[in-house]
Amino acid sequence: MNQINPAQNRDMSQADIDKLEKLKTGTTTIGIIIKDGVILATESQATAGFTIATKKAQKLFQINKYTGATIAGGVADCQYVVSQAQAMSRLEGVRFDKTPTVDYVANVVRNMLFRGRSYFYAFMIVGGYNHKEKVGKLFPIDFIGYMTDSENYVSLGSGSTFALGVLEGNWKPDLSTDEGVELVKQALTAARQRDAGSGYGVQIAKITKDGFEAVEGPLKD
């Protein structure tokens, strides 16, 4: 399963499902596994209903040296969850004198959203490089804390249908970094051309054994 569908969760009420339907608009976020790690990507448009609120919304964040995240949903809620994940990652790093793994960060986010239980309107892709296993990992997480096992590729948001079509047709194991960057650009282009909620600039980062590196977007600037 490459796109999260929280409506499959038997504990969801109809009110939660209705909220989810409203939140499935307004962005395209992507994560893919490559040979040397992962690539995270998104576009830069933020909407408020039918209004484009900003063309320069930051939706890609660095959590620690080896982990990043993309966001979709309520901007304020997502920013809060990201800041808490960053803070808890720093505290864990101080406590054990090493950078927390992507698995740890993903579970922090999942637990936060699960405890909030639809209080935080945040859909996130947490991705990074796990040094112990020597692989990149991706964890899509929905707004009630549902998280899948690590995926090969994933897309969330209103443009995800179009992005997934490109990813499913072109992703393959052992993609190089350049091939991965080109693939997410193609997927974002498809989403921006067909989805009214996605648009403008792109934000891309790669995360390998050497750490988080912005490829394009505000984090690079």
Active site residues: 27
Q: Are 170 and 183 in contact (CB under 8 A)?
A: yes
Per-residue tokens: 164? 């997934």
Q: What is the DSSP string of the chain?
A: --S--GGG-TT--HHHHHHHHHHS-S--EEEEEETTEEEEEEE--EEETTEEEES----EEEEETTEEEEEEE-HHHHHHHHHHHHHHHHHHHHHHTSPPPHHHHHHHHHHHHHHHTSSS-EEEEEEEEETTTTEEEEEEE-TT--BPSP-SEEEESTTHHHHHHHHHHH--TT--HHHHHHHHHHHHHHHHHH-TT--S-EEEEEEETTEEEEEESTTT-
